[in-house]
Structure 1
Amino acid sequence: MRKAILIYNPMSGDHSIINRLDHIIQRFQSHGILLQPFRIDLECEDMLVTVLKLDKYEFAAVSGGDGTVNFIVNIILKHGISIPLGIFPWGTSNDLARCLGLPANADELIDIVLGGNTSRIDVGLINDKHYFLSTCAGGVFVDVSFSTHSELKKNFGLFAYYLKALSEVTSIKPFKVVLKTEELSIEEDILLFIILNGKHAAGFHNLIEEADISDGIMDIVLIKSCSHMDLANLFFNVLSNSYINNKNVVKLKAKACTIISSSDINVSIDGEKGEGLPMSVSFINKAIEVFVK
């Protein structure tokens, strides 16, 4: 019998994976695939590495949000494990799945994995030690994501972040950064920087419409220091996908960059708290294999 592993985060999103486990296992088993569940927690990394290295799995189904997928991708890349990933996007933030055009319906996701069509996508590498798949960001709304209550995020999802962000606009302060790419250097007072792999970030649809998740190039967005009123207007511009020509937005493309600041800035990596600045970021072209439609 064929073997695969289902790696799931029981705390992701609305915790619905717990009620879906039996159905998922049954669907794969009916196609001759023995699906072994593996529950992740804060202390499971060594055990998961051992399991993935010792057992021969055809693929890994990963249930959770961007943070969960980030955790798994860091494990497989750091330990030289080659395995295609089937992403079941049931977290609060699911930007990678949106970039890949994946549905949320369990049976549709199972059908995609059973169909066997895969694609290789890029990953970002921070300070030569930590990988990310969708976003690396620092500044204003990053602080908000860390301070938003978990129950609010569970019940209202990304809308909770938006509500929290709007409530804190008047307390936002800019910080100075020096950003260098292979072609230019920028010194600017900013409120936020985002490095993206793909079109979507923080739940915003088509933030970078022309972005390609497999071209080896990162998109960089800087939000310059501006008035509280301009920032509120920009926020609604982003919600309506009309921010591109805003005077307070800088957009860049690069294969690598460095960001330096003397300020103590919160950094988010795929929605989870990361190390602060300075940082160097490079992109690895087509580093991982994922199931797609």
Structure 2
Amino acid sequence: MAKATHRYDALVAIGGDGTLNLVATAFLRARKTVPLGIIPGGTVNNLAHQLDINPLTVVAMDQLLTAIQQDHTVSIGIGQAGDHAFVSSLVFGALADISNQVRQTEKRRFGPIVYVAKGLKLLVTNRSYRIELIHDGTTETSRVWTGLVTTTNGVGRVQYIPDDTADTLHVSLLHHFRWGNLPTYIHYFLNGHFDQAKGVTYFTTEELRLVPASTKHTIRLRLDGDKGPALPMTIRWLPRYIPVLLPKQ
């Protein structure tokens, strides 16, 4: 797709965040973008939800046709991790490990329950990682159980931090996991105040360098729900990068 991008006048993607990730990564590697139409067809469709694209295919197609007739696009920012893009979320740490341990064959055979089984096994170990975080002129080494980087203040159709128009990356670090605090984490997350939860560090940035403090374990990223590259990694914010076909408000 990256090699063929220069031949496109526009592109329509039918799928969820994983599909949009492939398109954004192709744009990134081609160093060229074209207007992008989005028809939600995935499980979560977080980016489409953030852009107010209707989850019903027929309605979404009508929105797209209207945008084409109006010749109207809205440029959105994306995240970059090496030569990979992410349109919605980047995860590292325990939650990424849980998802990365699930094979496609296991998902097809057992369904969502396989995540619960793998998760319980991993949560019992309560593994966290010491990671050096470099951003905005500061360097610190912190123990992180799970890190979440998002392009908006919402993930999984949940606004997990207060409404924020900041055109940047949102970073949340959960340093330690304790079973007794799980209801509190869920409460703050669902009510849009995860940044206020005890044991959570939240900040915004346009560039973040993540370096493992030890080479004992491989710390692999999860990009838009799919397995990604391993640390060390520099994560960047690319503002107004992709022109998305959206009807005028």
TM-score by length of 1: 0.72
SS in 1 for 2:64: helix
Q: Which amino acid aligns with 1:132?
A: F
The answer to whether structure 1 residue 139 and structure 2 residue 93 are counterparts is yes
- Alpha carbons of 1:199 and 1:110: their partners in 2 closer, same or farther (altered >3 Å)? same
The structural deviation recorded for 1:246 is 1.2
Structure 1 counterpart of 2:76: 121
- Alpha carbons of 1:119 and 1:158: their partners in 2 closer, same or farther (altered >3 Å)? farther
* Structure 2: distance between partners of 1:161 and 1:247: 26
The answer to whether structure 1 residue 246 and structure 2 residue 201 are counterparts is no
- The 5-angstrom pairing of residues 47-126 of structure 1 reads 49-50=3-4, 52-54=5-7, 57=9, 59-116=10-67, 117-126=72-81
Structure 1 counterpart of 2:160: 207
8 Å Cα contact 1:169/1:232 also seen in 2? no
- Alpha carbons of 1:157 and 1:220: their partners in 2 closer, same or farther (altered >3 Å)? farther
Alignment partner of 2:148 out of 173, 189, 194: 194
Q: Identify which range, 151-160 or 251-260, moves more after superposition.
A: 151-160
8 Å Cα contact 2:97/2:220 also seen in 1? yes
Unaligned runs of 5+ in 1: 1-44
- Alpha carbons of 1:162 and 1:231: their partners in 2 closer, same or farther (altered >3 Å)? same
Q: Which amino acid aligns with 1:138?
A: F
Structure 2 counterpart of 1:255: 206
- Alpha carbons of 1:135 and 1:65: their partners in 2 closer, same or farther (altered >3 Å)? same
8 Å Cα contact 1:144/1:164 also seen in 2? yes
Unaligned runs of 5+ in 2: none
Structure 1 counterpart of 2:229: 275
SS in 2 for 1:286: strand
The answer to whether structure 1 residue 177 and structure 2 residue 131 are counterparts is yes
* Structure 2: distance between partners of 1:212 and 1:151: 40
The answer to whether structure 1 residue 266 and structure 2 residue 220 are counterparts is yes
* Structure 2: distance between partners of 1:151 and 1:110: 32
8 Å Cα contact 2:134/2:210 also seen in 1? yes
Q: Percent identity?
A: 23
Q: Identify which range, 190-199 or 156-165, moves more after superposition.
A: 156-165
TM-score by length of 2: 0.83
The structural deviation recorded for 1:184 is 2.7
SS in 1 for 2:131: strand
Structure 2 counterpart of 1:3: none
The structural deviation recorded for 1:259 is 0.9
The structural deviation recorded for 1:209 is 3.2
The structural deviation recorded for 1:118 is 1.8
* Structure 2: distance between partners of 1:102 and 1:147: 32
* Structure 2: distance between partners of 1:131 and 1:88: 19
SS in 1 for 2:230: coil
8 Å Cα contact 1:170/1:228 also seen in 2? no
SS in 1 for 2:159: coil
SS in 2 for 1:104: coil
The structural deviation recorded for 1:186 is 2.8
The structural deviation recorded for 1:205 is 0.4
The structural deviation recorded for 1:149 is 5.9
RMSD between aligned alpha carbons?
2.9
Question: What do residues 91-123 of structure 1 show as CA deviations (whole Å, max 9, x unaligned)?
Answer: 123221122122111121112111223210111
8 Å Cα contact 1:136/1:268 also seen in 2? yes
